[in-house]
Amino acid sequence: MLNARQFSPPQGDESARKALIKQLRKDFPEPALAWLDSPDVQVDQPQRIPADQIDWDGYPRWRASRQLEAVVEIAKKKIHKKKGKPSVVAERPGNPDLLLIDGHHHAMARIDHKEQPLAYVVHVPAQQGPWNTLHDKQTSDKHPDDFGRTSKQDLEH
């Protein structure tokens, strides 16, 4: 199924790029974000994303999948009060599914709250790149696993 995004080239929004980098700086080291400054990468302002356009294949390996209590808490305390931060998805050429690269808890919390996820859409130039491993570079994870704290790293973002 083709989506409307495939028919118009991304315009990008410089203020969205700056806001996204500011949001990500809280959880990621500066070198991990350098790819966002590339002229080949365009960033759109946060928008509602239909859940069926997100690639959920990696869900069983996401840290957020082991932290469902935190997802419910985010839904109750932030999403309900319209305070949750936007997630980040990558639109890759030739792939109709959007890759969730940050904000897994918030995307899941919005779905739990019966909303479409709110996300920055980052248009990237290739299927593979630093966007595929960004989440592995996250410096903070304040949510404990539901089944006890583990040292298990995400196998995928």
Q: Report which of 40, 19, 154 is spatially closest to residue 90, judged by C-alpha positions.
A: 40
Q: Is 74 exposed, middle or buried (0-12, 13-18, 19+ CB in 10 A)?
A: buried
Residues 6+ apart with CB under 8 A from 135: 101, 102, 104, 154, 157
pTM: 0.82
Q: pLDDT of the chain along its 157 residues, tens only?
A: 344 455 455 678 999 999 999 999 999 999 999 999 999 999 999 999 999 999 999 888 888 888 888 888 888 887 767 778 999 999 999 999 999 999 998 999 999 889 999 999 999 999 999 999 998 888 866 655 655 555 555 444 4
DSSP, res 154: P
Residue located via tokens 């304040």: 142
CB 23 within 8 A of CB 138: no
Cα–Cα distance, 113 to 76 (Å, whole number) = 8
What are the structural domains, with CATH classification, of the chain? 43-139 (3.90.1530)
Cα–Cα distance, 2 to 101 (Å, whole number) = 21
Helix (H) or strand (E) holding 21: helix 14-25
Cα–Cα distance, 14 to 134 (Å, whole number) = 21
